[in-house]
Structure 1
Amino acid sequence: MTGGLSPGMRQYQAAKQQYPDALLLFRMGDFYETFGADAEIVARELDIVLTSRSSDSAGKKIPLAGVPYHAADGYIARLVRRGYKVAVGEQVEDPKKAKGLVRREVVRVITPGTVIESELLGSAEARTLVAVALDRRTDQIGVASLDVSTGAFSVLVTRSGSDCSGLRTELARIGPTEVIVPASADPDLIAAAREICPVVTPYPDESFAPGTANELLKHHFQTATLEGFGCAGLPLAIGAAGAALAYALEMHHAPLTHITTLSTRTAEERMVLDEITLRNLELVSTIRGEAKDGTLLSVLDRTGTSMGARLLKSCLVSPLLNREQIEERLDAVSFFVDHPMVRSEVRSLLHRSADIERIAGRIAYGSATPRDLVTLNRSLTVLPMISSLLSDPEVTVPAEVATAVAGIEDPGSITDLIERALVDDPPANTRNGGMIRDGYDETLDHFRSLSGSGKDWILDLQQKERERTGIRTLKIAYNRVFGYYIEVTKANAALVPAEYDRKQTTTNGERYTTPALREQEQQIAEAEEHLLERETMLFAALLTSLAGSVPMLQQNAASVAWLDLYSALAEVAVQDGFTRPVIIDEPKVLIRGGRHPVVEQHVEGGFIPNDTSMDGAEEQILIITGANMAGKSTYMRSLAILCIMAQMGSFVPADHATIGLVDRVFTRVGAFDDLARGQSTFMVEMVELANILNHVTPQSLVILDEIGRGTSTVDGYSIARAVLEFLHGKGKSGPRTLFATHFHELVDVEATLKRVRNYHLAVQETGTDVIFTRQLIPGATDKSYGIHVATLAGVPRKVTDRATAILAEVMGREYSTTPKKARYTQMLLISPESEAVEHPAVKALRGINPDDLTPLQALQALYALKEHLRGGGV
C-alpha cells in the first residue's frame, strides 16, 4: 500500500517494483538513500548506521540507510563484489528548476558481470558475463562470454554432458563473475553453474529464443545476417549471445556501441582443460582457491599492461591445437628472446600504457572521466614509438609481430584533440569543473573571466574594508552553505560598522554581509553556474567526438596486448632459463632436464630436473613408484604444465623439449570429500576417474596419482590395474599416461603390457636416515618410507618407533614363508660410507673413452652395456 506514503516514498516504491531483485540506491539531495529490506542489507554489508524515517501507512517506521552521493562508487563497488545487484535511481532534472517533486529514474543497474566504471572494476582482470543456452535433446550448450568493460564478445557450442561437466569445464576456463540462464533452466544446470560462479541470474526464456536473439544481434551490429560472425547456423550460439547482449543492454540503459563484433569459437581449436585439471595444476588459482600467487600465471605474468595480462590468462587456459599457430607464437617469443635491446625498449614503452581497451569502452558508454582521457592520451603517444621500433628495415620480425605492428594506427588526431581540450592535470570527475583548458572555447573563457573578475572584486573589497574599519584580521570567505561572508573576531566586534548585517555567530566571532557583497555573490554564482554548465557540455561533446574512434582504439589495444604477451613470455624465458619447445604431430614427449616452473622458485638448494621419454609405440604408460614425499606428484604435474605452456606458445623450463600435440590434459591427484554433493573421498575419486575414461582420446595426456587408494587394498589394486589395461588398450599409440601408485604389485604389468614402463623417484639411504633425491630413474621400487615421512611430519617418536617395530615384524613374517619374487629393478643409491659392489655396466662404462670411438664402435658399446644391464647385478 502507498496511500499513506509521502510523494518521495511513492516514487521510490514505483522504482523498486521495476527492479525487485536489486538494491535500489535512490538519490535524494546529497545522499543515495535505501529503504526497508534494502536498507537493512546495505547497513549490514557496508557497516553503516541503520536508522528510520516517518511511518508507513500502517504506522510502522521505515528502515533507512544512506551513503553520500559523491562517495557512492566505493560503496557500490563493495556491494557488487559481494554479489549484489545495485540499481541507481538518479535525479534526472535540476532540483532548482523542478516544479514540485524532482523527477527520478533508474539510470543504471550494476551487476557483477556488467561493471564498466573504473571505480567499480577494481583490477585489470576480466569481468565476464556468461549466458548459457541448453538443448537437452542434443546434449549441446551455447556459451556466450561478454566483457562489457572491453567489448570482448565470443560464443562457443559444445557438449554439456549428463552431469553438466562440459558446462563446468567452459565456465572454469572463462572464470565468469556472473552467469545468466533461462528462467526455466533445470536445477542441475543452475547448480553446476553455481559451483563455478556464485552469481547465477535467471533471465526470461524469450531472450534465449534464437529468433528473438537473432533480431537483436543483427540490430545491434547493423547487419542483415550473422553469417559474418560464424554463428548463422548455430541456434544455441545465437540464443546465448543474444541473451548476454540483451541483459547487458537492459542493465546499462545505453546502446553499448563499443561491442562491435562477435567471434564464434569451436571446441576443436583449443586444448581442453576441465575444472579439475585447472585446479590440480594450479594454472590461475591455487587448489585452495587463492588467486594468482603460487600459480603458473604468477610465474609467467611479466606483462606491462592490463590488456596483456588479460590476454596472457586467456591463452594460458586455452592452449592451441594447431601446430602452425603454435609455431607462429613461438616465433614471436623467439624474436624478443633473440633481440634483448628491442625487448627492453618495447617493454619500457609498454609499461607507460594504461588500459586503452577499458577506457575505450567507457568513452563509448559516456562514463569516461577527464583523467581517463588524459591517461589515454599519454598511453597513445607511446604507440608510434613502439611501431617505429619494430618497423626497422634492418630487423626482420616474424609474422605475428608484424601483424600486431600493422594493427597500430596513428592516433595523432585523438591526441591532438585531447591535448587542446583538457588541462594537463584534470580533476577525477566533472562534478566541479576545472578540466577544460583555457583557449579551447571562447564562451567558456568569457564565463571564466566573469567568475575570475568577481573573485578579484572580493579580494579588493577585503583590502578596502580592512583599511576602512581598521580591523587588520578582517577576511572575506566562502562556503557552500552560507556563501560569501565577512568574518570578524570577537576582539574586534566594537569596530564593526553599523551597516554590516549579522549573518552567523561562531565560536570565535561573527560573520556579516553587506548589500554590495550580496549583489557580487549573486553575479559570481550566476557566472560559475554558467561556467560549470558550459564546461560539462564541452566535456560531453568531447566524449561524443571521441566515440567515433573507439574501434581504432580497440584495434590498437589488441596490438598492444599481443606485443605485451610475446615480450613478457620472452622476458620470463630469459630470466628463468626456459627453452623453445619442438612441436610435433606424433604422440611423443621427450624432455631433458624438465622442471616445475612454480616449485623451482621456492626450492632451497635448487630444483632437481628430470627427463621424460614417452611415445605411443614403446613407452605409452609410465608407472611411477617411490617414497612418499619423493616428488612424484611434482614431477607429473611438471610434465602436464610443460605441455600446456608449449601449446599456448611459451618457452618451457627444460634443457630440451619435444612435445607431440595434446588435445586434452586429464589429472586425478589428491583426495578430498565433496560434502556439498554428498560424495565421499572415494566417490570423488571415482567420479573424476569416470570423466577421464569416458572422454580420453589417443592424443590426450593423463596424470593419475594413487588411483584406488580410497578403498580396500584388493578393490583398489583391481581398479588400478583395470584402468591401466583400459588406457593401454585405448589405441595403438596413446593416450600418454603417468600413473603414480603405491600398489607395488602393479609393476608386474610391465611384463604383460608392451607399452608400459616402470620408473621411480630414487632415495639415498644412510643408515636409519633417508634422503629424497627427487631423481626419476628406470625401474620400480616397493618401498614407501611412510614411517620416515611420519617422523618428518612430527608424529610422536613413541608412535613411529612402534610402527618401525611392527613393520619389521610384518616384513619378517612375509619373507619367512615362501620367498617372494623381487618386483623391482631399481639401482639403489647408497651412501658413500656404505660398502657397495659396483655394477658391471658402471664398471664397463668407466673403461670407455668416447673420444676414441667411431660411431659404429659407440653403437656396439651401447649394446654391450645393455647386455650388462640384463645379466648383471649388484
Structure 2
Amino acid sequence: MAQYTPMMQQYLKIKAQYKDAFLFFRLGDFYEMFFEDALKASKELEITLTSRDGGKEDRIPMCGVPYHSAENYIKQLLEKGFKVAICEQVEDPKTAKGVVKREVVQLITPGTVMEGSMLNEKENNYLASLTEFADGTCTVSYNDLTTGETSIALVKDGFEAAVSELYTRPVKEIVIGSDLNEDKVEGLKERLGYTVSIEDRTEIDDEFQPLTENIHQEKFLIGFGRLLQYIQHTQKRALEHLRPVDVIELKQFMALDMYSKRNLELVETLRKQGKSGSLLSILDRTITSMGARMLKKWMERPLLSRQDIELRHQQVEGLLEQFFERESLREQLTSVYDLERLAGRVAYGNVNARDLIQLRQSLSRVPEILKILQDFANESIERLYQSIDPLTELKELLEESIAEDAPQTLKEGGMIRDGFNSKLDEYRHAQANGKQWIAELEAKEREATGIRSLKIGYNRVFGYYIEVTRANLKHLPEDRYERKQTLTNAERFITPELKEKEALILEASEKGVELEYELFLQVRERVKAFVHKLQLLADQLSTIDVLQGFAEAAESHDYVKPEYHETRTVDIKKGRHPVVERVMKEETFVPNDIYLDDETDILLITGPNMSGKSTYMRQLALTAIMGQMGSFVPCESANLPIFDQIFTRIGAADDLVSGQSTFMVEMLEANHALSHATENSMILLDEIGRGTSTYDGMALAQAIVEHIHEHIRAKTLFSTHYHELTSLENELNRLKNVHVRAEEYEGNVIFLHQIKEGAADESYGIHVAKLAEMPSSLIDRASELLALLENPARNEAAAGQEQQLSLFVEEARQKKPKAENEDLEKQLSQLNLMEMTPMDAMNELYRLQKKLKS
C-alpha cells in the first residue's frame, strides 16, 4: 500500500469493501475506475482505456465517465448483471487537508435500482431472497424498492418448488446465505439468469419491527431479515416507504409453476420476444404504468376464492355496460402518473420539483375519477371508490408551494411558487428591482459621460462592472470611477453606488436560491408524511385501471363473463384461443366446444400435426387463468370449476444449460404434474413419449394416462399421435376420444381445426411432409414404407404377441375351472392378433391377463 499515492491508497481501501462491484470513484467532474475495474469497464462500456501515475513504477489502468452522464453507463452495467458502488467526495476540496474525504454513498444493484430511466415502468423490479431450512422448506421474500412493496411466502415442497415460485415474478437479483449448496447457487444463476448476492445477517433492527406485524413464524422473520439487511447495506439511507410485509398464502392462489407459465406464454413468448404474442399483450388495456404492473401480478396469481373472482367479474360487467362513463374514466386516468414510484422517490429523498408537479397533477384527477365512478349503476363498483382518500390536504400543499414551470434541478431556484414564503418574495423583489436599477444606472452614466457605448455587465468572477472602450477613457470623471479590470480594447470600472447595489442584488440572488432549496426540502418532508396514504391510493387506482382494461378487452374481443359452480364439469361453448385469434391474418379462427362432465376426466386428442391440438389445449388453460384473475373469457359461454393448479407439458425444448435432453425435460415436467396435481387441477400433456422409441413411448404414454385416471382424476387433455391409445376408451370409463377433423382432397390434406368426438382415422404425416415441399421421390418412398408397416401380416411384433398369448392360454387352462376355461377360450378364439395393430394386441393381452389374475 505504501508504494501508492495517498489518493490511490484511499481508493484501494474503499475498493476492498466492494470487491463484487465496479467502484465509481469521484474525481472532479468524472467517476474514475482503476486496475481490474478499468480493464473490465472499458470492455463492457466500450470506453477508452488510459492510465495514470499511481505512485509505482508502472502506470495504473484507468477509465472514466462524466458524472453528469453516468446514469446511462450505470444502466448498461446493471443490465449485464453487475453492481456499481458510487463513491462521492464528502467534504469541500477547498477546505480539505490532504486527500479529500470520500465515501460510498450508495451501492446500486440490479434489484435495488431507483432511478426512473433505468427501470421498465410497466414492470416491477424485484429484489428477492431465498432461505432454505433443514427440513427442506424455503422462504422466498420479495421487495420492490421503487414502490416499497414487500412480501414473503413459505414454500413447503423443497428447493425446486422455491425456484419455480421465483420464476413467476420479474426478479432481477436474489440474496442468499453463504451456506447454500454451490450447485444450487449455480442453478439460480444459469437457469433463472439472476444476479446472486450473499447476505448472512438476518436480524431485524428495532426501527423496522412495525413492518413485521403480520408475520410471526421464525422462518418468515429470518427470510425477511436477510432481505432487509441487504437493502440497508446497499442503500445507506432511510427506508421510510417500505410497506408492512404481506404474507403470501400460496394456497389462496392458483398454482402456476415455471413450466406452465413458460409453455402457456403468459407474459412473454417461448421465443423470448418480449410481451408481444403473449396473453399479457392481449389483456393489457391499462392506462397507467402502475396499473400495468398490477395486471401482471394478477396474471401471476389467479384467485381461488369464488367470491373474490365473481366480485371482479361483477365490477368488469358494470364498467362494460356504461361505455361513455368508462371512456371518461380512461380519459382521467391518462393524467395520472406513477403514484407508486413517486411515493417511493419522495420517501427515498431523490424526488425533484418536476416529480411533485406530476404528483399534484395526479391528485387533481382523483375527485373527477370518484365522481365518474359514482355515476355507474352497479353496486359492486361502489367498493372501488368508497374508501378512496383524495388527499386534498396534500394536493393543496403542492398547489401552494411548487411553481408551475419548476426546473428539474434543485439548486438553481425557480421551484417555489410566488406567495408561498414572504422572505423569498422579498429576495425576488430585490432581484427584480435590482435589475431595473442597473438598467437605469447604465442610462444615467451614459448621459453623464456622453459615452454612448458605455455598458454595465456582470460575470461571476468580478461581479457587476462598467465597461468603457479605451478611446472613451478621457471622458470619464477621475473621482468616481475605480479601475477593476483591464482588457485589450477596454477598461472595466466600478463606482461606490454600483458596488453598494451589487451587494444587495447578489445577496438577494444567493440567499434566495439557498432559501428556496431549504423550502423545497421542508415541502418534501411534509409530503413524506403522506407516503403510505399515497401507496394505498396507488393500489386503489391501479385496481380500477386493471378492471377497466378488462372491460375494454371484453368489448374489443367479444369476451363473456364465465360462470362458476361447485361441480367439476367443464362446459365451454365455442371457445377460442385469445392470442391466436388476434394474430391470424388471412384465416378465421375456428372456435370449439370443450366439455368434460363430472364423469369424464380425460380427453384423448388425436389428429394430424398443424391441425390445432396444442391450440385447443392451451385455450382451455388460458380461459381458466383469465377467468380466475377476473377477466372475461373468449367464448360464447363458459361454465367452469375453480382450478387449484395447472400443469402443462406442451412443446419440445432441450435444457442445454443443465445438459438435459428433450425427453428428460419431458419426463421431469410430466412427473412434476403427476406428483402435485389433485382432482381439482388441470393437466395438459402434448405428445408424451415421442422422445424415445415407438414402443417405449406408447408404453409410457398409456401408463401415464392410466395413472391419471386411477390415482389423480384431474381434468386432463392428452394429445397423441399414438392412435393405438384410442382403444383405452373401452377400458377407462372416465376417458373419451376426440379428434381434430382433417379431410383428404385430391391427395392433399385440408385442416378443418374442428374438434369432434371419436378417434382420428389417420395421422396425415406424409401429407404434412408434402405440404412442406419435401422431394416427391422421398414422399413416394415414405408411402411405400407406411403401407409395408401397416400390413399386420408383415409385422413381426404380432407373431411375438401370439406366442405370449399361447402361454397365457396354457396358464389359464391349468388354473381356471373348466367352465371359466371354456369362456376364456371362447374369447381367445375370437381374437386374431395378425389382424390387429401391436398396440391393440398388447391392450387385449393386458385385459385378459388382468382377468386371469382375478
TM tier, smaller: 0.7 to 0.9
| 1:404 aligned onto 2:384 | yes
| Alpha carbons 2:106, 2:236 under 8 Å: kept | yes
| 1:144 aligned onto 2:141 | yes
Backbone CA RMSD of aligned residues:
3.0
| 1:653 aligned onto 2:608 | no
What SS does the aligned partner of 2:201 have?
A: helix
> CA offset at residue 529 of structure 1?
3.2
CA distance in 1, matches of 2:465, 2:616: 77
| 1:219 aligned onto 2:207 | yes
Question: Relative to structure 2, which stretch is displaced further, 68-77 or 521-530?
Answer: 521-530
Q: 1:101 to 1:449 in 2, by over 3 A?
A: farther
Equivalent in the alignment of 1:383: 366
Q: Which amino acid aligns with 1:614?
A: L
| Alpha carbons 1:444, 1:531 under 8 Å: kept | yes
What SS does the aligned partner of 1:18 have?
A: coil
Equivalent in the alignment of 2:357: 374
What SS does the aligned partner of 1:133 have?
A: strand
Matches within 5 A, 1:600-679: 600-604=581-585, 605-617=587-599, 619-679=600-660
What SS does the aligned partner of 2:403 have?
A: coil
CA distance in 2, matches of 1:255, 1:511: 56
Match of 2:110 among 109, 112, 125: 112
Q: 1:667 to 1:452 in 2, by over 3 A?
A: same
Q: 1:37 to 1:475 in 2, by over 3 A?
A: farther
Structure 1 residues 516-557: Cα deviation after superposition (integer angstroms, max 9, x where no partner): 689977775554332322221111111101111111111111
Question: Relative to structure 2, which stretch is displaced further, 511-520 or 361-370?
Answer: 511-520
CA distance in 1, matches of 2:490, 2:188: 64
Equivalent in the alignment of 2:571: 590
What SS does the aligned partner of 2:132 have?
A: strand
Q: 1:77 to 1:484 in 2, by over 3 A?
A: farther
Q: Which one has a bigger Cα radius of gyration?
A: 2
Structure 1 residues 324-368: Cα deviation after superposition (integer angstroms, max 9, x where no partner): 111111111111112223222222211211110110111111111
Structure 1 residues 551-572: Cα deviation after superposition (integer angstroms, max 9, x where no partner): 1111111110111111111110
Equivalent in the alignment of 2:318: 335
| Alpha carbons 1:623, 1:740 under 8 Å: kept | yes
| 1:772 aligned onto 2:751 | yes
> CA offset at residue 145 of structure 1?
0.9
| Alpha carbons 1:407, 1:555 under 8 Å: kept | no
Equivalent in the alignment of 1:271: 254
What SS does the aligned partner of 1:693 have?
A: helix
Q: 1:567 to 1:806 in 2, by over 3 A?
A: same
Q: 1:504 to 1:326 in 2, by over 3 A?
A: farther
What SS does the aligned partner of 1:535 have?
A: helix
CA distance in 1, matches of 2:369, 2:680: 40
Q: Which amino acid aligns with 1:263?
A: D
| Alpha carbons 2:766, 2:779 under 8 Å: kept | yes
Structure 1 residues 476-508: Cα deviation after superposition (integer angstroms, max 9, x where no partner): 7777789878999xxx98678899877788xxx
CA distance in 1, matches of 2:473, 2:274: 67
| Alpha carbons 1:581, 1:651 under 8 Å: kept | yes
| 1:170 aligned onto 2:165 | yes
CA distance in 1, matches of 2:499, 2:11: 38
> CA offset at residue 276 of structure 1?
0.8
CA distance in 2, matches of 1:487, 1:42: 50
Structure 1 residues 252-299: Cα deviation after superposition (integer angstroms, max 9, x where no partner): 112211113111122211111011110100001111223211100111
| Alpha carbons 2:123, 2:170 under 8 Å: kept | no
CA distance in 1, matches of 2:37, 2:502: 42
| 1:319 aligned onto 2:302 | yes
Equivalent in the alignment of 2:10: 11
| 1:748 aligned onto 2:730 | no
Equivalent in the alignment of 2:132: 134
Equivalent in the alignment of 2:811: none
CA distance in 1, matches of 2:460, 2:620: 67
| Alpha carbons 1:181, 1:200 under 8 Å: kept | no
| Alpha carbons 2:792, 2:837 under 8 Å: kept | no
> CA offset at residue 85 of structure 1?
1.4
CA distance in 2, matches of 1:16, 1:157: 37
TM-score by length of 2: 0.87
Equivalent in the alignment of 1:256: 239
Matches within 5 A, 1:320-719: 320-392=303-375, 395-398=377-380, 401-456=381-436, 513-515=492-494, 526-604=507-585, 605-617=587-599, 619-719=600-700
| Alpha carbons 1:760, 1:777 under 8 Å: kept | yes
Structure 1 residues 707-742: Cα deviation after superposition (integer angstroms, max 9, x where no partner): 0100000100000000010000124xx211111101
Q: Which amino acid aligns with 1:615?
A: D
> CA offset at residue 241 of structure 1?
1.1
CA distance in 2, matches of 1:100, 1:433: 33
* Gap runs ≥5 in structure 2: 477-481, 797-833, 841-854
Q: 1:167 to 1:468 in 2, by over 3 A?
A: farther
| Alpha carbons 1:616, 1:736 under 8 Å: kept | no
| Alpha carbons 2:114, 2:146 under 8 Å: kept | yes
Q: Which amino acid aligns with 1:561?
A: S
Matches within 5 A, 1:28-39: 28-39=27-38
What SS does the aligned partner of 1:90 have?
A: strand
| Alpha carbons 2:329, 2:369 under 8 Å: kept | yes
Structure 1 residues 690-721: Cα deviation after superposition (integer angstroms, max 9, x where no partner): 21111121111000011010000010000000
Equivalent in the alignment of 2:760: 781
CA distance in 2, matches of 1:774, 1:504: 89
> CA offset at residue 406 of structure 1?
2.4
| 1:23 aligned onto 2:22 | yes
| Alpha carbons 2:34, 2:63 under 8 Å: kept | yes
Equivalent in the alignment of 2:78: 80
Question: Relative to structure 2, which stretch is displaced further, 757-766 or 807-816?
Answer: 807-816
> CA offset at residue 240 of structure 1?
1.2
What SS does the aligned partner of 1:534 have?
A: helix
CA distance in 2, matches of 1:62, 1:451: 50
CA distance in 1, matches of 2:644, 2:110: 33
What SS does the aligned partner of 2:379 have?
A: coil
| Alpha carbons 2:3, 2:56 under 8 Å: kept | no
Q: 1:810 to 1:552 in 2, by over 3 A?
A: same
Q: Which amino acid aligns with 1:178?
A: E
Equivalent in the alignment of 2:815: none
Matches within 5 A, 1:724-735: 724-731=705-712, 734-735=713-714
Equivalent in the alignment of 2:827: none
Q: 1:795 to 1:454 in 2, by over 3 A?
A: farther
What SS does the aligned partner of 2:240 have?
A: coil
Q: 1:663 to 1:120 in 2, by over 3 A?
A: same
> CA offset at residue 196 of structure 1?
5.2
What SS does the aligned partner of 1:729 have?
A: helix
Structure 1 residues 202-246: Cα deviation after superposition (integer angstroms, max 9, x where no partner): 333232xxxx24xx3x531448xx4x40x21x2221111111122
> CA offset at residue 313 of structure 1?
0.4
CA distance in 2, matches of 1:461, 1:46: 55
Q: Which amino acid aligns with 2:595?
A: S
CA distance in 2, matches of 1:601, 1:472: 76
CA distance in 1, matches of 2:592, 2:97: 80
| Alpha carbons 2:256, 2:646 under 8 Å: kept | yes
CA distance in 2, matches of 1:105, 1:192: 35
* Gap runs ≥5 in structure 1: 825-874
Q: 1:23 to 1:178 in 2, by over 3 A?
A: same
Q: 1:9 to 1:736 in 2, by over 3 A?
A: same
